[in-house]
Amino acid sequence: MKIQNIMRRNYKLLVLVLLFAVASCSFTTKTFDDPNKDKTLIELITYILQNGHYDAKEINDEFSAEVYKDYLEAIDPLKRYFYASDIQEFEQYRLLIDDQIKNKDISFFDLTHSRLVERMAETEKMYKDILGTPFDFNEDEVLDTDYDNRGYVSSKQEMKERWRKQLKFSTIANFYDMKKEDKREIENNTEYEAKTEEALEKESRELTLSSIEEYFDFSDDLERRDWFSIYVNAIVEEFDPHTFYFAPQDKDRFDMAMSGKLEGIGARLQKKNDNVKIVEVISGGPAWRGEEVEVGDEILKVKQEDEKEAVSIVGMRLDDAVSLIKGPKGTKVILTLRKVDGTLEEVKITRDVVEIEETYAKAAMVEKEDQLFGVINLPKFYFDMENYSARNAASDVEKEITRLKEEGMEGLVLDLRNNGGGSLKTVVDIAGLFIEKGPIVQVKSKLDGQEVLKDSDPSVLWDGPLVILVNELSASASEILAAAMQDYKRAVIIGSKQTYGKGTVQNVLDLNRWVRNNDLGDLGALKMTTQKFYRVNGGSTQLEGVKSDVVVPDRYSFIDIGEKDQENPLPWDQIEAASYDLWDGYIDFEETMANSQERMSQNVYIDLIRENAEWIRDQRQNNKFPLNYLEYSREMELNEAMAEKFNKISEYKSNLTYESLPYEKELFTVDTTLAEKRERWHTNLSSDLYMAEAVNVLQDIKMNNIKKSNVAQLKN
């Protein structure tokens, strides 16, 4: 049965079951003594979750304690607002939130919200006093950022001291940057008059003051509904990390993203504690084209091209941070980034409208020692939700394979690195291009039970050597395809120790459809986990992902970036294996993998990548930062020297030349932008040691004399 139909049927069944239940419970504003929108929202969401979530949790005291902890962490992650006395007062609710949910009681939220507003107002008076006095950068002080293990303060004096260190850290960073800029000016301009230490310190404090005032200006604009959304998500995210409540304004932005066109820099952002982190760089967008921004970078400051000062977005609401970063096409924005390796970098990006054309499959050819190999890059498993046959990842991959075969391809690399997933149906269809008929993935849902999704077409489009490239950001549908090809022993998987580990499926439900006679206004939407999928060998990809046959490190190797590192992930489990036959097209499968592993272990660039990954891990685990200028500058210079050392990784060249297929070369005559994009991609491939090793593996693989294509027909 087609996955698209299965998912549509699951959704419709879920709607029918819940609508019947909801109708029987009369979710209509007229039945409430207090028709408060927040109470209605809490009741509706928790009811839907308990009846429709794949692995619904019991809302009990244990659940209450987790919501309590996560909610307080979400609204005061740095513990710089609430006092120990506040927490002592809140503690009475720690095991009562479950009861409040059931009784449509939001008094815990009301108390914490009003207290937070009060404490933030007190802090606004405090920081101006602190920044009115010069900082002494000769003192031996340290800022400890281990917020999880720091306690709450017990007095205003302690709170002021906590803020003083935080503001001093921000100022010393400004001071360091300004001193470097002053030094550059002296070197480049003989008429430039150097600034005094006192003047630079004052400017640094003023910049910190400006940034913190911007932060509080944005915070003052937050409405009660913004904070209530945080409370709702503290509840729903206890079910699993992919279940999420979209407030009306967030749902609008989500819908815009799903439409395939994004404005701005071309990156997806996520708020974690007080930091805004880049979680995806959109292919074809400005950030992607500039190659200076990567997943894991944190955006600290945003400056418009026509403005003198940057605005700190640390602690800012994500909505407001996004509004600063976005802007009209052609305008420029300057971002101050804390890079994955801990260094700070300013990046200027010209905003543009990001079309998703570059998320489509693309192919290239590469020749090595008189053998021609093909490369297909697949950034996501896309399809048209209204008309699957219009354009989808499977049909595009099929076309590219056919074209590569026409050129005499002897081996194929399918690049799924950074592919976050998409349509499961396209996974089944793509897998079917490489094997005879058989199961591809097993799907289990709360409503439908267990189902095996199969390729029923016995023909094989490509029966030659196949390598699949993955990394820690290959997730969901990517993992299913890699897992199926690994279970069949059809492909050699090269990449990270394991892929992301997301083995669940979500549906987005419009909450307004569930309430009759709704006079409360827009209620938003709920993204909810409804299914789990499994490999044909019965194992789940949840948490464990797919373990590569040839393991090679990259800069993410030691970073907490996968499903297992999220809060409340669903567990790994196993079901009965499906019935399938191993691929018998190779004669030296194990030997090929061993040879590849041996080559990679002797590669000096791999050693450097591993060292870089370990250094990044150590940098991210460091939570003590000096507030003494000599110590601070010494650390920054050491970080910059290490970053310079690891820049040698980019010097790698494979001596392989990649080129486009003939049909695409014809397009270049009228589409110079496409030609530029492909030239850039090919240049990157030539400097990609993982791709070079994939080609080596294709060269090593020996095939059975009787090939599958002799008895198979091309897919129509």
Rounded to whole angstroms, the Cα distance separating 698 from 684 reads 20
Report yes or no on 128 lying in a domain. no
Mean pLDDT of the chain: 86
Distances (CA, A) of 119 to 77, 79, 81, 168, 451: 14, 11, 6, 21, 53
pLDDT at residue number 583:
92
pLDDT at residue number 386:
72
Nearest CA among 650, 543, 547 for reference residue 597: 547
One domain for residues 317 and 455: no
Confidence of residue 716 (pLDDT cuts 50, 70, 90): very low
Report yes or no on 275 lying in a domain. yes
One domain for residues 415 and 538: yes
Q: Crossing angle of helices 61-75/107-130, nearest 10°?
A: 30
Mean pLDDT in residue range 408-416: 97
Report yes or no on 215 lying in a domain. no
Last-in-domain residue among 308, 326, 356: 356
Domain limits at 319? 245-356
The tokens describing 469, both together, are 């490239």
In terms of Cβ atoms closer than 10 Å to its own Cβ (0-12, 13-18, 19+), residue 618 is exposed
pLDDT at residue number 481:
98
pLDDT at residue number 20:
39
Mean pLDDT in residue range 522-539: 93
pLDDT digits over 350-368, tens only?
Answer: 888 766 667 799 999 999 9
Q: Which residue has the higher pLDDT, 558 or 203?
A: 203
User: Residue 3 above 70 pLDDT?
Assistant: no
User: Residue 699 above 70 pLDDT?
Assistant: yes
One domain for residues 279 and 415: no
pLDDT at residue number 340:
76
Mean pLDDT in residue range 273-289: 75
One domain for residues 447 and 482: yes
One domain for residues 471 and 542: yes
Number of domains composing the chain: 2
One domain for residues 326 and 387: no
Q: Which residue has the higher pLDDT, 447 or 332?
A: 332
Confidence of residue 263 (pLDDT cuts 50, 70, 90): low
Report yes or no on 485 lying in a domain. yes
Confidence of residue 529 (pLDDT cuts 50, 70, 90): very high
The tokens describing 140, both together, are 């031996």
pLDDT digits over 42-80, tens only?
Answer: 999 999 999 999 999 999 999 999 999 999 999 999 999
The tokens describing 652, both together, are 């790698």
pLDDT at residue number 274:
65
Which CATH number fits the domain that encloses residue 667? Answer: 3.90.226.10
Confidence of residue 410 (pLDDT cuts 50, 70, 90): very high
pLDDT digits over 237-248, tens only?
Answer: 999 999 999 888
pLDDT at residue number 255:
45
One domain for residues 366 and 337: no
Nearest CA among 555, 557, 554, 549 for reference residue 595: 549
Mean pLDDT in residue range 489-495: 96
Report yes or no on 667 lying in a domain. yes
pLDDT digits over 424-461, tens only?
Answer: 899 999 999 999 999 999 999 987 889 999 999 999 99
Query: 187: left (phi > 0), else alpha (psi -120 to 50), else beta?
Result: alpha
pLDDT at residue number 28:
41
- The pair phi, psi for residue 15, each rounded to 5°, is -60, -45
The tokens describing 97, both together, are 């939130």
Mean pLDDT in residue range 515-540: 87
One domain for residues 313 and 408: no
Report yes or no on 147 lying in a domain. no
pLDDT at residue number 471:
95
Mean pLDDT in residue range 597-617: 91
pLDDT at residue number 519:
65
Mean pLDDT in residue range 281-297: 77
Please tell me what DSSP assigns to residue 55.
Answer: T
- Number of residues assigned to the chain: 716
Last-in-domain residue among 300, 321, 356: 356
Distances (CA, A) of 615 to 92, 419, 425, 625, 639: 43, 26, 40, 17, 10
One domain for residues 409 and 383: yes
Report yes or no on 606 lying in a domain. no
Last-in-domain residue among 325, 356, 387: 356
Q: Which residue has the higher pLDDT, 323 or 526?
A: 526
Report yes or no on 443 lying in a domain. yes
One domain for residues 304 and 428: no
Q: Crossing angle of helices 224-236/107-130, nearest 10°?
A: 120
One domain for residues 308 and 449: no
One domain for residues 347 and 474: no
Which CATH number fits the domain that encloses residue 331? Answer: 2.30.42.10
Least confident among 135-139, 211-215, 361-365 = 211-215
pLDDT at residue number 682:
96
Question: Does the reported pTM lie above 0.85?
Answer: no
Rounded to whole angstroms, the Cα distance separating 84 from 152 reads 5
Mean pLDDT in residue range 448-476: 94
Q: Which residues contact 467 (CB under 8 A, 6 or more apart)?
A: 411, 412, 413, 414, 491, 492, 493, 494, 694, 697, 698
